[in-house]
Homo-oligomer: A and B are copies of this chain.
């Protein structure tokens, strides 16, 4: 059950050359006569010779492969970011291999170590919700594995980072809800250990502050498993609705939170009296009932930027010491879900 392939040795034996001659002929070295080159190339073509990248990786200690670690490819943000990553990588001659952490620190570590030991030339990571201990990443980074963080970044490792202006996105969404007349705006978000959670919380609070609304901690719900456990989110919403200080609007972060929240509200409330806005990169927000107001992130561009920076690091002759953090702007797309009802009829669609 083993794959039999043609090797340089086979060609050398067949043509009665040494392996080095064949190797040089195949790469078109100037020191090989035209005649020999032609013979070798023709025979290689005929036998469908393909160089063995494993042997090359072993020798050269590089693989022209980029490893990607994300929490969930089913998440639209990540699948779009991956498309961005691939668009750059393929053009520059790199392959991309993708693994999922499922929001688990353990799985993330296994994935990273698998990538590292298989000689990926660099790593693109968005940290999992469960990740607390970054020591294994630090160690690999210090040993010389180039890595770039995107979306869920960390300040503990000094390298390139690409992210969206989460604080601004949260600020805009929250302010928009306030301007629509909502006063008790709940916030359902992910694990507090994530950079994006903190930044979004920050924007949310800044908007409240600007409009002289006192933040109410009981309206802020953290879901440590990033929506992987549905009950966690549903319980949070139930608590919000049961509490004496019932919210009149909910601002969510992330696709999972947003859709679960919408489903729960749809199920629980006959009169649609709670407004919604959320971070989401779903392509179908406009098809929902009600059409969903979202903060959309430039996921594709984030992936592209991160990949460009990574390849730059990989191909740099001398160690890179000057690191940048790229922060792209989010876009607030206003639809019905966040609009105040006038005369029982929601306002018309707008798009900012």
Contact = CB atoms under 8 A, between A and B. Distances in A.
Interface in A60-108: 61, 72-74, 76, 79-80, 82-83, 86, 95-100
A168 interface: no
Given A73-B98, A287-B259, A316 B118 contact: no
Given A79-B74, A262-B287, A287-B266, A143 B54 contact: no
A259 B288 contact: no
B57 A54 contact: yes
A345 interface: no
Contacts of A140: 3
Counted per complex, copies of this chain come to 2
A117 B52 contact: yes
A204 to B, nearest CB: 24
B314 A1 contact: yes
Q: How large is the interface on A (under 10, 10 to 19, 20 to 34, 35 or more residues)?
A: 35 or more
Contact of A76 (B74, B143, B145, B290): B74
A95 B114 CA distance: 8
Contacts of A58: 52, 54-55, 58
B286 A287 contact: no
A54 B119 contact: yes
Contact of A99 (B83, B97, B283, B286): B97
Interface string A241-283: 0000000000000000001001100100000000000000011
A5 interface: yes
Interface of A: 1-5, 50-55, 57-58, 61, 72-74, 76, 79-80, 82-83, 86, 95-100, 113-114, 116-119, 140, 143-146, 259, 262-263, 266, 282-284, 286-291, 313-314, 316, 319
9 contacts: A3-B140, A4-B143, A52-B117, A73-B82, A95-B114, A259-B283, A263-B287, A266-B286, A288-B289
Q: Which 3 A-B pairs have the closest CB atoms?
A: A289-B289, A74-B79, A97-B97
